[in-house]
Amino acid sequence: MSEAARVSTPKLQQIEREPYYQPIGDEVALFESAHRRRLPVLLKGPTGCGKTRFVEYMAWRLKRPLVTVACHDDLTTADLVGRYLIVGNETVWVDGPLTAAVRAGAICYLDEIVEARKDTTVVIHPLADARRILAVDKRGELVAAPDPFMLVVSYNPGYQSVLKEIKPSTRQRFVALDFDYPEAAVEAGIVAAEGGVDAETARRLVKLAELTRNLKGAGLDEGASTRLLVHAAQLIADGVAPAIACTAAVARALTDDPDMTGTLDDLVHAVF
């Protein structure tokens, strides 16, 4: 095994096949504009509404490699920017995913940015304003981002913890695109296409989602996401009875509260 092979390098994902993405509004055109104008983009929206899928689709459309980083509260600056590793008796510098994305002119997608620690978030500041540079302090290097490079971050404003709010100085660097669950007919189209079920089943799944979304704030933190509907649809397409599929993939995924579970079961049985 060669020494270099032992040093893992960040993954640049080249998306070859067109991902299925159903546009909801003018987000595709806006994203393309932002890319042309070298502006970073912030995707806001509830969980499972298609943010990640959208970025994959745009990466394919713009023919750029995609680097995705799932943020968490242990994510350090070094995890993003890079660090020295020891190979044999020597130190070898390895770019972090952010640095790799900048060098390659890729789209860098920081998923759930609020989860990252505040001191980590600031490294993206010079990258996300007119300077478009990344400071690699350990190497004393300033990497200027080439034109095609684009920074995309996402967050879910439904989060309720006060400790996890995005700072204005971060937020105001981005063009913000609002995502939400699409209109019923469109959402049913997505569920049918992704889940492999017929139109009527998809329509009922979306109806169920609508009923659970009515309970947001009245016992549920969030209603059922498109993702959950797709899961239920996939189970149904695999031969699971619809009510059982919905109970498992939707009702139980939304809450542990025994009272609420009863209500959700009622709603599932009202639709199926």
Partner 1 sequence: MTSSTPSSRKLFSDELELRLDEVLFASPSHRSAKNIADGLERLGREQQERVLHWVAVAAQSYAEIGYLVATLAPRALDRLDASGFEAWVLAGLDAYDRQGGQAAMALLRDLDGFCAAREHVPAAARLADVESRLSRFLQGLSGRALALSHGAFAHTDTETVFLPAQLAALPTAADNRRLYKAMAALLWAQTRHGTFGSAALDIEAALARWADRERALRWFATLEAVRLEAVLGAELPGLAAEIAALRGPWPTGLEEAVRRLSRPDAAVSQTLTFLAECMAGEDEPPQLAHAGAIDIEAALRVRAARIAREAETVRRALSTLKGFGGRQGAGEEAPAVNIEGGRVEFSLDGEVAALPPEARAAAQSLLQDLGELPPECLVPAGPGAWQPTQREGDEGGGENALTSHREPHRRYDEWDYRRRAYRRGWCHLFEVDLAPGDADYVAKVSLRNTAAIRQIRRRFEMLRGEDRLLGRQPEGEEVDIDALVEAAGDRASGAEPSARLFCRRIRNERSLAAMFMVDMSGSTKGWVNDAERESLVMLCEALETLGDAYAIYGFSGWTRTRCDIYPVKRFDERYDATVRGRIAAIEAKDYTRMGVAIRHLTQLLEAQPARHKLLVTLSDGRPDDFGDEYRGHYGIEDTRRALQEAHERGVRSYCVTIDRHGADYLPRLYGPARYAVLDDVWKLPLKVADIYRRLAT
Ligand X SMILES: Nc1ncnc2c1ncn2[C@@H]1O[C@H](COP(=O)(O)OP(=O)(O)OP(=O)(O)O)[C@@H](O)[C@H]1O
* Candidate ranges 12-20, 21-29, 202-210, 228-236; the one touching partner 1 (CB under 8 A): 202-210
* Candidate ranges 26-34, 36-44, 56-64, 255-263; the one touching partner 1 (CB under 8 A): 255-263
**Binds ligand X by CB under 6 A, chosen from 227, 261, 265, 271:** 227
Burial group, residue 103, by CB count within 10 angstroms (0-12, 13-18, 19+) = middle
Query: Would you put residue 217 in left (φ > 0), alpha (ψ -120 to 50) or beta?
Result: left
Q: Residue 205: CA atoms inside 13 Å, Cβ hemisphere, count?
A: 38
Handedness of CA 74, 252, 53, 126 (dihedral sign): negative
Smallest separation (angstroms) from Mg ion to the CB of 159:
14
Smallest separation (angstroms) from ligand X to the CB of 77:
23
Given the complex with partner 1, which of 73 and 238 has the nearer CB atom? 73
Which of Mg ion, partner 1, ligand X, none sits in contact with 35, Cβ below 5 to 8 A by type? none
Site for partner 1 in 164-193 (CB under 8 A): 165, 183-185
* Candidate ranges 25-33, 139-147, 189-197, 257-265; the one touching partner 1 (CB under 8 A): 257-265
Query: Taking each helix axis from N to C terminus, what angle separates 199-213 and 184-195, rounded to the nearest 10 degrees?
Result: 120
Burial group, residue 171, by CB count within 10 angstroms (0-12, 13-18, 19+) = middle
Question: Site residues (CB under 6 A) for ligand X?
Answer: 20-22, 24, 45, 47-53, 111, 156, 190, 194, 226-227, 230
